[in-house]
Amino acid sequence: MRRIPEEKIMSGCAISGILDRKGRRFSGEEIIKSIALMHDRSNGLGGGFAAYGIYPEYKEQYAIHMFYDDLQAKEEVEDFLERHFMISLAEEIPTRKVKAITNSPLIWRYFVLPDQHKLEQANLSEDDYVARCVFKINDQYRGAFVVSSGKNMGVFKGVGYPEDIGEFYQLEQYEAYLWTAHGRFPTNTPGWWGGAHPFTLLDWSIVHNGEISSYGANKRYIEMFGYKCTMMTDTEVITYLFDLLLRKHKLPLELVVKAVAAPLWSEIDRMGEKEKKIASGIRAVYGSTLLNGPFSIILGHKNGFVALNDRIKLRPLVCAEDGERLYVASEESAIREICPEPEKVWAPRGGEPVIGLLEGSSEEWL
């Protein structure tokens, strides 16, 4: 059953992420093991994974993962996709039967490129064009939901414990250089497949543990820039904020962090003159992007990830480094489960981003 709730969804959660900075790909087994350890942080109402580097053969194409409630929805959306894209491949995403997973929607994926003619007409960048189409499907096509839409990446999620979801999607079959995972503990609504994490837009994926009290302010801000928050989830709005600040406003990641997890005024007061001006300017202009309330998130991207806590660290976040591997999770045990003796383990301070980058990619992500 698909139901987009009308009010904001609250949830607690577990998150985990693994990056190989050399870009070596590895199977989904480890991330499943890691997230499974934090079983009690979810309640079986949502789990999901984002995987980067899984479609090397289609890496130039947008991989659109879709949920459909029924065939009619599928037909309508495919009609839309055909009109707006050149589709290289359309296939059902392979799943296996898992006892705990029921009521799954139709799950499909499409490797596409924008229709050149339409793209020119729209006078948009490819990314903007794709994003707009994603909004349109999510907003206007009943019974259809875009799960992910980036290149060489995909999101696999659903209602259930994350380890069951992983098994369901046969993630041991996929190899990625960056995995993130999420186990969900929603408090108010029965989980629905689209509402599970990660949430994505283009290359961005977000897994998030927390509750964004500033949601109303963030939502109304982001909507002024053409985003449509249809999901009523924090994750969605966080994703859009990053998209706006990083991709559209082209702010350096460091400044984006200063906006969404802004340093306290007391810290700004202690900064040097130049830094202070920048930090205050960011807060003045981007105050509405401040994510307020308890959260820890992992923002996945083709170049790596950013893990971030709220600025007063109301939710857990632990990181570890071992060789080329960078781990991040809600709990240290979830890291040690798959990497018992990491070279370094630390808990980042509130508002202090942990940035994991693929070798060779620049800090300015786009």
Partner 1 sequence: MALSYKNPEFLIERDYDKCINCRVCERQCANEAHYYDEDLDKMMAIDKNCVNCHRCVTLCPTDALRIRKYPLEFKENYNWTGEMINNIYKQAETGGVLLTGMGNPTKKKIYWDHLLLNASQVTNPSIDPLREPMELKTFLGRKPERLEFDQEGNITNLPPQIELETPIMFSAMSFGSISLNACKSLARAASEMGIMYNTGEGGLHQELYQYGANTIVQVASGRFGVHQEYLDAGAAIEIKIGQGAKPGIGGHLPGEKVGEEVSRTRMIPKGTDALSPAPHHDIYSIEDLRQLIYALKEATDYEKPVSVKISAVHNVAAIASGIATAGADIIAIDGYRGGTGAAPTMIRDNVGIPIELALAAVDSRLREEGLRNQVSLVIGGSIRNSADIVKAIALGADAVYIGSAALIALGCHMCQKCYTGKCNWGIATQRPDLVKRLNPEIGTERLKNLIRGWSHEIKEMLGGMGINAIESLRGNRLMLRGIDLNEKELEILGIKHAGE
Stretch that binds partner 1, among 60-68, 74-82, 194-202, 262-270 (CB under 8 A): 262-270
Q: What's the one-letter identity of residue 57?
A: E
Contact 154, 148 (CB under 8 A): yes
How many other CB atoms are found less than 10 A from the CB of residue 330? 27
> Considering only residues 35, 147, 159, 251, which one is a binding residue for partner 1 as defined by CB under 8 A?
251
CB atoms within 10 A of CB 122: 15
By CB under 8 A, tell whether 240 contacts partner 1. Answer: no
**Residue 86 near partner 1 by CB under 8 A:** no
25 belongs to the binding site for partner 1 (CB under 8 A):
no
Q: In what order do the strands lie in the sheet with 144-148?
A: 85-92, 106-114, 62-68, 144-148
| Beta strand spans in the chain (E) | 11-20, 26-27, 47-52, 62-68, 85-92, 106-114, 144-148, 153-158, 175-176, 178-186, 199-201, 204-210, 295-301, 304-309, 318-322, 325-329, 344-346, 354-357
If one asks whether residue 23 binds partner 1 (CB under 8 A), the answer comes out as no
The answer to the question of residue 266 lying near partner 1 (CB under 8 A) is yes
Contact 204, 194 (CB under 8 A): no
Q: What residues contact residue 36 under an 8 Å CB cut-off, 6+ apart?
A: 161, 162, 163, 166
Q: Does 303 bind partner 1 (CB under 8 A)?
A: no
| Among 28-36, 105-113, 297-305, 309-317, the segment contacting partner 1 (CB under 8 A) | 309-317
Question: Are residues 180 and 156 in contact, defined by beta-carbon separation less than 8 angstroms?
Answer: no
C-beta closer to partner 1: residue 293 or 348? 293
Interface stretch with partner 1, choices 35-43, 133-141, 218-226, 356-364 (CB under 8 A): 218-226
Instruction: Single out the residue of 294, 342, 351, 356 in contact with partner 1 (rule: CB under 8 A).
Output: 294
By rule CB under 8 A, what count of residues binds partner 1? 46
Residue 5 interacts with partner 1 (CB under 8 A)?
A: no
The residue among 43 and 95 lying less far from partner 1, judged by its C-beta, is: 43
| Contact with partner 1 (CB under 8 A) among 264, 323, 333, 359 | 264
**Residue 356, interface with partner 1 (CB under 8 A)?**
no
- Token readout for 303 is 């170049």
CA 359/CA 265 separation, integer angstroms:
34
Q: Does 11 bind partner 1 (CB under 8 A)?
A: yes
Is residue 339 among the annotated active site residues?
A: no
Helical H segments across the chain, by residue range: 29-37, 71-84, 116-122, 126-140, 162-168, 215-223, 234-242, 253-260, 265-269, 273-286, 332-336
Which of 265, 323, 324, 363 touches partner 1 (CB under 8 A)? 265
Choose which of 91, 274, 341, 362 interacts with partner 1 (CB under 8 A).
Answer: 274
**Which positions from 167 through 186 interact with partner 1, judged by CB under 8 A?**
none
**Binding residues for partner 1 (CB under 8 A):** 7-8, 10-12, 187, 210-211, 213-218, 220-221, 223-225, 248-249, 251, 255, 262, 264-266, 274, 277-278, 280-288, 290, 292-294, 311-312, 314
Residues identified as active-site: 13
